[in-house]
Amino acid sequence: MANVKITDLTAYTDPASTDVLPIVDVGADVTKKVSIGEVVGKISGDVDVATDGTSSITAGAVSTTELGGDITAAGKALLDDADAAAQRTTLGLATVASTGAYSDLSGTPTLVTQLDDLTDVDVTSTPPNDGEALVWDNGASEWVPGSAGATAAGSANEIQYNDGASGLAASSDLTWDDTGKELGVGGDINLDDGGTYTTTIQSITATADRFISFPDDTGVVALVRGLNGAVLFNNAGVSGGGNLGYSSTAGTFGYISGNGGTITQQNNKSTGVTLNAPCGRIEMHGAALAGNTTVPFVLTNSSIGANDLLVLNHVDGGTNIGGYSLNAKAAAGSATIYVRNITTGTLSEAIVIGFATIKT
């Protein structure tokens, strides 16, 4: 055969399946021949080659290995659609997929465009006036037009209060001076919280027959401070109650029972004792005390001041009541008590001395 280039060969436009093509067997490194029919047969299951030179992929013909999965009829239909609109039709999508309009949605609630569209609001039966707001009508279980709030009442400095009719009222008898921080009350003041409370009143100037009532939770005036029956006193600006008391039953005034104590003297009649109380009893030792003889002993007591007076009585012990005289001299935190046997004979009695301190 003459030396001719492939491009110079005569074109063969109608090859038969038995015609052959040269092909290189790469594995054997040998040039061999293969028929056109054998080449087409290798791909005819996947690609339909038309005689006019065009080709198409038949649905279901391409293997899973080549495409990752068979192309179904539905998939081929999508591939065949001319545009997105046609594909939406193929997929059976609703109109909203194309328009994006809320009105094209189905099963949607009605949009509220005004207050009266709400089921619990009624501005139709009674249209609102200028400046009104919606207020809750509990009887109708709905919001209706009403007053936005109570109108200010009274004059300058007058304190407003609820008039009991959903409004505000004021009185010239109830005022507040913010400059002087002074509350003005033209009537009675009643402080009552229905139970336990604490209050401090700085000053009260009476200009008429007025009273201040401090009732307890039973409605009874109760000034409770200190022990039962304690007399109240000014304790640095607040109410105080201490050892002094009044018995409404006996009509007596003095130290409250339980504020004293009892101490017993040891060793002999001159032995000192300690009892820190404003009143109390001292049981002396029963040692002998000669007639017309005085014995002193020291009572250490934090309640006693240097200028105080001690009231002493022989209240118990021994049979010779009236056979002793008692006296005392106070000092800061103590007192020396002098006990004298005023009889002519020796007395060996454990007498009991009652004492009470008087501040001077």
Under a CB-based contact definition with an 8 Å cutoff, are residues 349 and 318 in contact? yes
pLDDT at res. 315: 93
Which helix (DSSP H) or strand (DSSP E) does residue 145 occupy? strand 142-146
pLDDT at 64: 46
* CA gap 283, 256 in Å, rounded: 21
pTM beyond 0.75: the answer is: no
Token pair 């009185």: residue: 171
Check residue 84 and give its pLDDT: 84
Q: Two tokens at 318?
A: 């021994």
Helix, strand, coil shares of the chain, percent, nearest 5, are: 10, 35, 55
Residue type, 360: T
Burial class (CB in 10 A: 0-12, 13-18, 19+), 238: exposed
Per domain, the residue ranges of the chain are: 12-76, 172-222, 223-259, 262-358
* Residue 342 burial class via C-beta count within 10 angstroms: exposed 0-12, middle 13-18, buried 19 and up: middle
How many of the other CB atoms lie within 10 Å of CB of 252?
10
Q: Which one is the CATH code of 262-358: 3.10.530, 3.40.50, 2.60.120, 2.60.40? A: 2.60.120
d(CA 65, CA 56): 19
Q: What is the pLDDT along the chain (360 residues), one digit of tens a residue?
A: 567 887 888 888 888 888 888 888 888 888 888 888 887 777 655 455 455 555 555 555 555 455 555 677 777 888 788 888 888 888 888 888 888 787 778 777 777 778 777 888 888 888 888 878 888 888 888 988 887 766 677 888 898 888 777 677 888 889 999 888 888 888 777 766 666 555 555 555 555 555 555 555 555 555 555 666 677 666 666 666 677 777 777 777 778 776 788 999 999 999 999 999 999 999 999 999 999 999 999 999 999 999 999 999 999 998 888 899 999 999 999 999 999 999 999 999 999 999 999 988
Closest CA to 330 of 293, 294, 302, 295: 302
Q: Which residue has the tokens 């090859």?
A: 15
pLDDT of 318 reads 86
Helices (H), the chain: 36-43, 64-67, 73-80, 84-91, 96-99
Only one residue has tokens 């000192």, namely 272
Give the pairing of strands 273-274 and 293-300. parallel
Residues 60/69, Cβ–Cβ less than 8 Å: no
Note the pLDDT of residue 298: 98
Q: Which of 129, 124, 123, 130 is nearest to 144 (CA)?
A: 123
